[in-house]
Amino acid sequence: MTRRGHGSCILRVARGIHRQDAAWCTLGQIEPTQMPTNCFTDAERAQYECDGYLIVRGLFGADEMQTLIEHAKADAELTAGSYQRRDASGMGTKLTLWNHAGDDLYGLIARMPRIVDRMEQLLGGEVYHWHTKMMLKEPHVGGAWEWHQDYGYWYDNGCLYPLLASCLTAVDRASRANGCLQVLKGSHQIGRIDHGKTGDQTGADMERVEVALERHELVYIEADPGDAIFFHSNLLHRSDQNTSPDPRWSLICCYNAARNNPYKESRHPIYHPLEKVADSAIRDWARGAAAS
């Protein structure tokens, strides 16, 4: 896979990832328009439709990730605002979540065109910030995330269609040893599976998951800091416990299509226009922090 899709990019309404759901493919259609270079190639988009995810190696540079790592690891508010979710065995993993993409470093990242432009391609039009979360899987004690689909519970937040997607950026190196992301390739084509409580988490119906494991390839996505995974809201995914001496932090920016505005209020926001920032935002922030 190429690292990034450059060249002439045309934004179209996403072809039916779930072809039985033809209705949402026609909502809010837009005229073809010229896109900036932060975009996927046609081949990459076809791969996303087939597999339910795309890996972009080196989406963020080493200096950008060093800025994020140094800031996040020293951010007392980030860790103080975290909460824990226990897996089926009782081990806990922590996360911090926020709905508003502001002018702090985390908010700037969620508003950068290298993520947002690609999301607009994959979701077929304007997107808005659904939420961002920092996953804090600590050495030796970081619990697992059970098999789930994000739309398995975002469905309950009033989103009628699965027109949501996430971009997970590795903050630390992610390996099988420290519980990297696992996905079932192509499982988004199953459609939404019923979810219920598994530990403190919301997990997918394991009867369906067991069949999906027989029919879909299990992929362990190992990643270096700055690598990013874009994935569909119906993709089945999980991660193991972190039994290694190394942390695995990851930043996950989640987006909803503007035309998929929730029909009811919930813990996540209704549509609000997303103001993009410059792709130099991390480096600009670092220069400002150094000067202050």
Percent of the chain with pLDDT over 90: 69
Distance of CA 214 to the CA centre of its chain: 25
Per-residue pLDDT tens digits for 189-232 = 999 999 887 666 678 899 999 999 999 999 999 999 999 999 99
Please report which confidence band the pLDDT of residue 140 belongs to, taking 50, 70 and 90 as the band edges: confident
The predicted pLDDT at position 203 comes to: 82
Q: Which of 21-30, 99-108, 246-255 has the lowest mean pLDDT?
A: 21-30
Quote the Cα angle for 127-130-131, to 5°.
135
Cα–Cα distance measured from residue 243 to residue 91, given in angstroms and rounded to the nearest whole number: 11
What are the structural domains, with CATH classification, of the chain?
A: 22-291 (2.60.120.620)
Q: Which residues contact 96 (CB under 8 A, 6 or more apart)?
A: 78, 79, 81, 82, 83, 133, 134, 136
Look-up of token digits 């065995």: 89
Q: Residue type for 42, please?
A: D
pLDDT digits (tens, 9 = 90+) for 22-46: 333 333 333 334 444 689 999 999 9
Q: Is 98 helix (H, G, I), strand (E, B) or coil?
A: strand
Q: Residues 123, 166: contact at Cβ < 8 Å?
A: no
Q: What average pLDDT does this structure show over 174-187?
A: 96
Question: Alpha carbon of 251 to those of 179, 181, 257, 274, 276: distances in Å?
Answer: 15, 12, 20, 18, 18
Binning pLDDT at 50, 70 and 90, where does residue 146 land? Answer: confident
pLDDT band at 80 (very low <50, low <70, confident <90, very high): confident
C-alpha to C-alpha distance for 37 and 235, rounded to whole angstroms: 26
In whole angstroms, give the CA distance from residue 226 to residue 250. Answer: 10
